[in-house]
Amino acid sequence: MTTVLTVLWHLTRAATLIAGITILVFLLVRVVPGDVVDVLAIEGGLTDAQAEALRANLGLTVSWFDQFRAWCIGVLQGDFGESLRFRVPAADLLWHAIPVTLRLAGASLLLGFTLAVSVSLLATLRPQSVFVSIVDALNIWSISVPTFCAGLVGILVFSLWLGWLPVLGNFIVPVVILGVDAAGQIVKPLHEEMKELGTAAYVRTARAKGLHPLRIVIVHVLPAAAPVLLAMTGLVAASFIGGALTMEVLFGLPGVGSLAFNAINGRDYPLIQAVVLFLAVSVILINSATDLAHRLIDPRPER
């Protein structure tokens, strides 16, 4: 019964968050001066009469409540509306952009996870080595260096100065930047947890039996640190939704970030709402899945 109530509570909280974010974004994008017709008028030189006729045709002259109700009814039926600028279903544009974002976020997370675990293992095995300093350096990097600024430096160095990589469509630099940032967020908590576990009674017993230090760390310490590793990885994965979007805009990758940027610039309300709904659902699902997995693998009772 407790499990059922917990699941219901998580579902209710998730639905409430999604609804709140959707309503807030719907209101905020309409508070900003100008709409898609104003943007089209600047680009195409529409007259005032043509602009008003276009607004009526796009359904922008009805009340906000009616617009929101119509959009919600459409979403419940699987229809996210039609892009006001491109005159194609917003869902089609979103589905074409999602794979790019998933590849970028997935590759970055894999790099960050691998780097964080490797450095933590080596720092635990060699507590007086340079790897402890690398742990601190990665952590400081992730705290003090914004990914956007690192991306600008990457473009300046590798594209403009060295000429090794193109500015637009470059996939390597954003993956490395986001991967290092992810490693910095994961490596410090993981290393601290592994150091603490290294003083546990069962680890001391393993050392007394003469087991190799590498085997002790991999077989006994790292699995016990899995809850911390999972929790930090989940937080990083959720934050990558924002980090990946920034890199997409900066490097011209045709993902959800670039789609959102163009939709906001063009005041494309249905497309903005579709993108925000996707992002909200993604972050909430990642956090919920991480929390559930943490409860399943953490052997320690809740306190």
Task: Report the distance separating Cα 199 and Cα 221, nearest Å.
Answer: 10
Task: Report the distance separating Cα 205 and Cα 48, nearest Å.
Answer: 83
Q: Give how far the C-alpha of residue 264 lies from the chain's centroid of Cα atoms, to the nearest Å.
A: 19
Task: Report the distance separating Cα 246 and Cα 257, nearest Å.
Answer: 7
Q: What is the CATH number of domain 98-297?
A: 1.10.3720.10
| Sequential pLDDT tens for the chain (303 residues) | 556 666 677 678 778 888 888 888 878 877 776 666 666 666 666 666 767 776 777 777 777 788 788 888 888 787 788 887 788 888 889 899 989 988 998 899 999 999 999 999 998 888 888 988 999 999 999 888 888 888 889 898 888 888 888 878 888 899 999 999 999 999 999 888 888 887 777 777 877 877 777 888 887 788 888 888 888 888 888 777 766 788 888 888 888 888 888 888 877 888 888 888 888 888 888 877 777 776 666 645 444
Task: Report the distance separating Cα 97 and Cα 255, nearest Å.
Answer: 4
Domain boundaries, the chain: 2-60, 98-297
Q: Which amino acid is at 55?
A: R
- Per-residue model confidence (pLDDT) at position 107: 92
Mind spelling out the 3-state secondary structure of 10-64?
HHHHHHHHHHHHHHHHHHHHHHCCCCHHHHHHHHHCCCHHHHHHHHHHHCCCCCH
Q: Helix H segments across 90-146?
A: 90-125, 130-144
- Per-residue model confidence (pLDDT) at position 17: 82
- Per-residue model confidence (pLDDT) at position 46: 65
Please say whether the beta carbons of 253 and 206 come within 8 A: no
- Per-residue model confidence (pLDDT) at position 219: 79
Q: Decide: pTM greater than 0.85.
A: no
- Running DSSP on this structure, what letter comes out for residue 82? B
